[in-house]
């Protein structure tokens, strides 16, 4: 019996030691080599894809005479005040506009509802577009022997994708922020991509907008751009069976009054932090550092000037009206204004700054 009790005692001690040892003397963990991975999610590949050059991409950086051999003489030519001329050409499906610098095509802008622009077509959705082409979110480029890294956000990929052609030109395609259908295409060279683009730059420097300081009549240029912007907005609306915005002297003057008021005394509607942001953007002259008044700031501005309105926005910089219209349409909060019901439209432009104002139609006021 004593032997049995002794055996059980020893067995119990051994058993307890077996279970307690890992608690009192935990084993040293093995070091396992783990390969680090970049947590940033990128679309497709870091190196951007290029596609075959066709359609309008063939004419970028070529002499304007080459373009006009195919599309005829311009119906209208205007100085932009930013070292390029804007030429309009007859285009039955919508609008065809070309920026010319030093006699060469620098930017081609196309707006249509139904038209083929090889290898794409207007009216296709953003999902159809991304299914047709291997889109890139990251672009590693070189400009003036300096590396430039561009990154597109999720919204950029969906509404403002960028495509590179194998002739070292590019195209931005713009999709309606609500319907997600293609409404605009902009073909351009690398310099103008770095000057106009709305994308984020992770390394390298974007190019500042160049304002001509010569003896230009800016009052006339501003008026021309106001007319160009109104024409582009109404051309877009007519393509999509929306009634044209009408214009009158009152709404035009109110838009100019609001723009002048803000540019003269921005601190009246901006907080200190927002004022600092505005001043920084004004000094930079960069398109990818755009500035908008918030809904509350715009409301305060209109209230100070005792101006009634239905909708409106302030946007800077605006150096190319049609390009900016494409960009606004691709952003849902601004597209809602461009697609608004019938209204009186006022557009005020002062060099790089634009204010768009919608007011109640005159016939509605008269009936009340």
pLDDT digits (tens, 9 = 90+) for 288-307: 789 999 999 999 999 999 99
In the block, which residue shows the tokens 């000057």? 195
The encoded tokens of residue 312 equal 């409106």
Sheet strand arrangement including 138-143: 138-143, 146-151, 200-203
The encoded tokens of residue 153 equal 């956000």
Predicted confidence at residue 285, as pLDDT, reads: 82
Q: CA-based diameter of the chain, in Å?
A: 119
Looking at per-residue pLDDT, the higher value among 47 and 356 belongs to 356
Looking at per-residue pLDDT, the higher value among 295 and 10 belongs to 295
The pLDDT of 220-231, averaged and rounded, is 97
CA 193/CA 213 separation, integer angstroms: 23
Looking at 8-17, 46-55, 108-117, which range is the least confident one?
8-17
Judge residue 299's burial from the number of C-beta atoms within 10 Å of its C-beta, 0-12 exposed, 13-18 middle, 19 or more buried.
Answer: middle
Could you tell me what percent of the chain has a pLDDT over 70? 85
The pLDDT of 319-342, averaged and rounded, is 96
Find, among 247, 248, 282, the residue nearest to 262 by Cα: 282
pLDDT at 267 over 50: yes
In the block, which residue shows the tokens 């019996």? 1
Confidence of residue 30 (pLDDT cuts 50, 70, 90): very low
Predicted confidence at residue 122, as pLDDT, reads: 96
Predicted confidence at residue 40, as pLDDT, reads: 36
Other C-beta atoms lying within 10 Å of the C-beta of residue 362:
13
pLDDT at 35 over 90: no
- Domain architecture of the chain: domains with CATH: 50-203 (3.40.33.10), 218-367 (3.40.33.10)
CA 145/CA 157 separation, integer angstroms: 27
Could you tell me what percent of the chain has a pLDDT over 90? 76
What three-state secondary structure class fits 189? coil
CA 50/CA 165 separation, integer angstroms: 5
Find, among 94, 104, 130, the residue nearest to 192 by Cα: 104
Confidence of residue 12 (pLDDT cuts 50, 70, 90): low
pLDDT at 77 over 50: yes
In the block, which residue shows the tokens 């205007």? 78
CA 135/CA 287 separation, integer angstroms: 23
Predicted confidence at residue 153, as pLDDT, reads: 95
Predicted confidence at residue 16, as pLDDT, reads: 54
The pLDDT of 222-226, averaged and rounded, is 96
pTM for this predicted structure: 0.85
């Amino acid at each position: 019996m004593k032997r049995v009790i002794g055996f059980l005692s020893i067995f119990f001690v051994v058993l307890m030691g077996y279970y307690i040892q890992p608690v009192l003397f935990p084993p040293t963990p093995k070091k396992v080599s783990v390969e680090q991975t970049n947590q940033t999610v990128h679309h497709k590949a870091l190196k951007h894809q290029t596609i075959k050059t066709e359609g309008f991409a063939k004419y970028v950086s070529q002499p304007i005479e080459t373009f006009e051999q195919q599309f005829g003489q311009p119906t209208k030519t205007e100085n932009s005040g930013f070292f390029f001329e804007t030429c309009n050409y007859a285009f039955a499906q919508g609008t065809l506009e070309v920026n010319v610098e030093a006699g060469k095509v620098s930017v081609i802008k196309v707006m249509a509802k139904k038209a083929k622009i090889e290898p794409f077509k207007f009216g296709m959705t953003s999902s159809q577009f991304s299914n047709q082409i291997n889109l890139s979110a990251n672009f590693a480029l070189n400009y003036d022997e300096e590396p430039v890294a561009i990154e597109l956000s999720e919204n950029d990929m969906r509404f403002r994708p960028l495509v590179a052609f194998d002739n070292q030109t590019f195209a931005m395609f713009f999709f309606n922020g609500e319907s997600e259908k293609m409404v605009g295409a902009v073909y351009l060279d690398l310099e103008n991509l770095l000057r106009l683009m709305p994308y984020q730059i992770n390394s390298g420097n974007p190019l500042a907008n160049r304002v001509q300081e010569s003896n230009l009549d800016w009052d006339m240029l501003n008026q021309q751009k106001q007319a160009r912007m109104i024409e582009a907005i109404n051309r877009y609306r007519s393509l999509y069976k929306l009634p044209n915005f009408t214009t009158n002297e009152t709404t035009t003057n109110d838009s100019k009054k609001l723009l002048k008021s803000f540019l003269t005394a921005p601190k009246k509607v901006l907080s200190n932090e927002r004022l600092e942001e505005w001043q920084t953007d004004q000094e930079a002259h960069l398109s990818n550092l755009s500035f908008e008044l918030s809904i509350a700031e715009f409301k305060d501005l209109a209230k100070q000037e005792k101006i009634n309105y239905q909708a409106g926005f302030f946007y800077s910089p605006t150096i190319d009206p049609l390009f900016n219209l494409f960009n606004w349409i691709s952003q849902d909060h601004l597209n809602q204004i461009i697609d608004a019901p019938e209204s009186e439209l006022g557009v005020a432009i002062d060099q790089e700054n634009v204010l768009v104002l919608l007011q109640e139609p005159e016939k509605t006021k008269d009936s009340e």
